[in-house]
């Protein structure tokens, strides 16, 4: 009997080697190489067949007819926005997030809403029994005879169940528990995750069934398994938020059928996740009045304007090197803006500790919040509060100028809706659009001019 050959595969990036190594040459991670058996035949590769037949000839793109297939609405406005308008039939969507964040709850609620619209949904759980899934469904008040539940991890039986039911949506919870029996490695390994995802992709494309798969995340916050997993799927959604806070943010980091800048905001309650249709009111409802180091900024998340509060605390340092800490903002950007304030405005910040926070757990990564960061740092340093009805919008350059931002009219309109009275914007954004009633717009060209306007110098 021939001896079976083995190989060592990195569980982080999928790098293969004939011998064990402590450090992976591919991703530089330590102790990630595990031993797996090499396949002696092509059973697995044959199981994952190509989506398109190889005997087809290339076609001119102008002669290809487009299918006007309508998307499936989930009846959840936030999720539809993130997906680009609904679920595309035949798409493969990967949902990742920390343990206990609410991934299974969200997908079970989506299953219920589609099932109530007479769409067959197959929910496959590899981590819970059908009775445990039923307990969770009762808590969420889910009762629909079009929602089918299966507790299975063998992909061969999963495919048979999909053929029998022919659902409009399939949910796999989670991909790390599913396995193909022809592969000798354990479920959750690089080989199993790669081949199972490829098989599910074939099922989705050939049968026109939308498939959602749940992926576990590593300690660093990335989806576990090879990076190839994210390249294979059509969309990658991350479910973010603190487990000890009620708000959750669904963000698309890849989407072949829509924008990757959209976010959906939910609130976790006893009856499940509820949509937050006006997040600005939620993020601003606990704002303290008359406190220094606070300002409201208008940030764009895709097509939506979100008003959030920036908070800063600046205090004299007791160490040789002052600390710069930021939550929800890039700390390198904070250090840069503090250098601009010191050089262009004259604030002595080199011996000050600075702590910045975005209220509500939102992450801001667009340059239009630069002016708000600079204002709240100066407000805390001078111990001068800003007006609670002011909003700051603008990007800051290294020479201290306030630069133009995009979609200024949309940002100002959202501020006016929430009752703010004054908006500080870049001078270059003045004119060419209609100012909403009840709000005053002031254009500034430098950071010093903005501080003079808000705090009198």
How confident is the model over 332-351, as pLDDT tens digits? Answer: 999 999 999 999 999 999 99
By residue count, the chain amounts to: 457
Q: Is 101 annotated as a binding residue?
A: yes
Contacts of 437-443 with CB under 8 Å at 24 or more apart are 439/412, 439/415, 441/412
- Residue 258 belongs to some domain of the structure: yes
Q: Quick one: 165 and 185 in the same domain?
A: yes
- 101-117 average pLDDT score: 93
- Residue 62 belongs to some domain of the structure: no
Count of structural domains within the chain: 3
Q: Out of 67-81, 144-158, 425-439, which region has the weakest mean confidence (pLDDT)?
A: 67-81
- Find all residues with CB under 8 Å of 179, minimum gap 6, and list them: 153, 154, 155, 186, 187, 192, 196
3-state class of 376 per DSSP?
A: helix
| Cα pseudo-dihedral 166, 170, 175, 177, rounded to 10 | -70
Banded pLDDT at 450 (limits 50, 70, 90): very high
Token pair for 101: 């964040």
Q: Is 360 annotated as a binding residue?
A: no
Q: Quick one: 345 and 307 in the same domain?
A: yes
Q: Quick one: 30 and 78 in the same domain?
A: no
Q: Is residue 1 pLDDT above 60, yes or no? A: no
Q: Quick one: 242 and 316 in the same domain?
A: no
Last residue of a domain, one of 276, 294, 317: 276
Q: What pLDDT is attached to residue 376?
A: 95
Q: Quick one: 24 and 129 in the same domain?
A: no
- Residue 107 belongs to some domain of the structure: yes
Q: Quick one: 121 and 234 in the same domain?
A: yes
Rg (alpha carbons) of the chain, rounded to whole number: 26
DSSP readout, 35-90? Answer: EEEPPSSSHHHHHS--SS-TTPPP--GGGPPPP-PPPBP-S-HHHHHHHTSSBPTT
Q: Sheet of 16-17: strands edge to edge?
A: 16-17, 6-10, 33-37
Q: Is 173 annotated as a binding residue?
A: no
- Residue 63 belongs to some domain of the structure: no
* 387-398 residue pLDDT tens: 989 999 999 999
Q: Find the CATH number of the domain harbouring 100.
A: 3.40.50.300
Q: What pLDDT is attached to residue 209?
A: 95
- 53-76 average pLDDT score: 80
**How far, in Å, CA of 172 to CA of 318, rounded?**
53
- Residue 50 belongs to some domain of the structure: no
Q: Quick one: 193 and 179 in the same domain?
A: yes
Q: Quick one: 245 and 343 in the same domain?
A: no
* 347-406 residue pLDDT tens: 999 999 999 999 877 889 899 999 999 999 999 999 999 998 999 999 999 999 999 999
- Residue 240 belongs to some domain of the structure: yes
Question: 308 forms bridges with which residues in the sheet?
Answer: 297
- Residue 383 belongs to some domain of the structure: yes
Q: Is 280 annotated as a binding residue?
A: no
- State which residues form the domain around 402: 282-455
Last residue of a domain, one of 217, 243, 276: 276
Q: Is 89 annotated as a binding residue?
A: no
Q: Quick one: 9 and 128 in the same domain?
A: no
Q: Quick one: 302 and 270 in the same domain?
A: no
Q: Is 97 annotated as a binding residue?
A: yes
Q: Quick one: 388 and 254 in the same domain?
A: no
Q: Quick one: 254 and 394 in the same domain?
A: no
Q: Is 100 annotated as a binding residue?
A: yes
CA dihedral (74, 76, 77, 78) positive or negative: negative
- Residue 29 belongs to some domain of the structure: yes
Query: Model's pTM, two decimal places?
Result: 0.74
Banded pLDDT at 288 (limits 50, 70, 90): confident
* DSSP code of residue 328: S
Q: What pLDDT is attached to residue 159?
A: 94
Nearest alpha-carbon partner for 8 in 29, 40, 36, 28: 36
Last residue of a domain, one of 240, 256, 276: 276
């Amino acid at each position: 009997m021939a001896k079976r050959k083995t190989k060592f595969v990195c569980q982080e990036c999928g790098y293969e080697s004939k011998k064990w190594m402590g450090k992976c040459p591919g991703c530089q991670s330590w102790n990630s190489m595990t031993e797996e058996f090499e396949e002696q035949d092509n059973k697995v590769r044959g199981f994952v067949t190509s989506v398109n037949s190889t005997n087809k000839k290339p076609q001119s793109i102008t002669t290809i007819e487009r299918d006007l297939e309508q998307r499936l609405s989930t009846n959840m406005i936030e999720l539809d926005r993130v997906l680009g308008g609904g679920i595309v039939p035949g798409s493969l969507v990967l949902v990742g997030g920390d343990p206990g964040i609410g991934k299974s709850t969200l997908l079970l609620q989506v299953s219920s809403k589609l099932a109530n619209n007479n769409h067959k949904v197959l929910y496959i759980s590899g981590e819970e029994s059908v009775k445990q899934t039923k307990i969770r469904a009762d808590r969420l008040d889910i009762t629909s005879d079009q929602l089918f539940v299966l507790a299975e991890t063998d992909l061969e039986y999963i495919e048979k169940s999909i053929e029998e039911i022919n659902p409009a949506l399939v949910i796999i919870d989670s991909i790390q528990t599913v396995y193909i029996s022809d592969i000798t490695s354990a479920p959750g390994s690089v080989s199993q995750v790669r081949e199972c995802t490829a098989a599910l992709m074939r099922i989705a494309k050939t049968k026109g069934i939308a498939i959602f798969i749940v992926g576990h995340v590593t300690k660093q916050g990335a989806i576990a398994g090879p990076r190839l997993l994210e390249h294979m799927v059509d969309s990658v959604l991350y479910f973010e938020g603190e487990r000890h806070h009620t708000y959750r943010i669904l963000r698309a980091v890849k989407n072949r059928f829509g924008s990757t800048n959209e976010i959906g905001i939910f609130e976790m309650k006893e009856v499940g996740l509820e949509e937050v249709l006006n997040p600005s009111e939620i993020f601003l409802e606990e704002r303290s009045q008359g406190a220094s180091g606070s300002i409201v900024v208008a940030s764009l998340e895709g097509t939506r304007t979100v008003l959030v509060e920036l908070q800063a605390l600046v205090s004299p340092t007791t160490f040789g090197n002052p600390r710069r800490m930021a939550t929800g903002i890039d700390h390198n950007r904070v250090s840069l803006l503090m250098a601009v304030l010191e050089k262009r405005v004259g604030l002595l910040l080199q011996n000050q500790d600075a702590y910045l926070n975005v209220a509500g757990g939102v992450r801001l990564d667009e340059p239009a919040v630069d002016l708000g960061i600079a204002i709240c740092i100066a407000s805390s340093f001078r111990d001068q509060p800003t007006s609670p009805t002011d909003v700051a919008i603008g990007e800051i350059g290294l020479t201290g100028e306030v630069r133009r931002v995009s979609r200024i009219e949309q940002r100002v309109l959202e501020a006016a809706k929430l009752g703010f009275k004054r908006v500080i914007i870049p001078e270059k954004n003045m004119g060419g659009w209609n100012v909403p009633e009840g709000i005053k717009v002031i254009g500034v060209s430098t950071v010093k001019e903005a501080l003079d306007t808000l705090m009198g110098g």
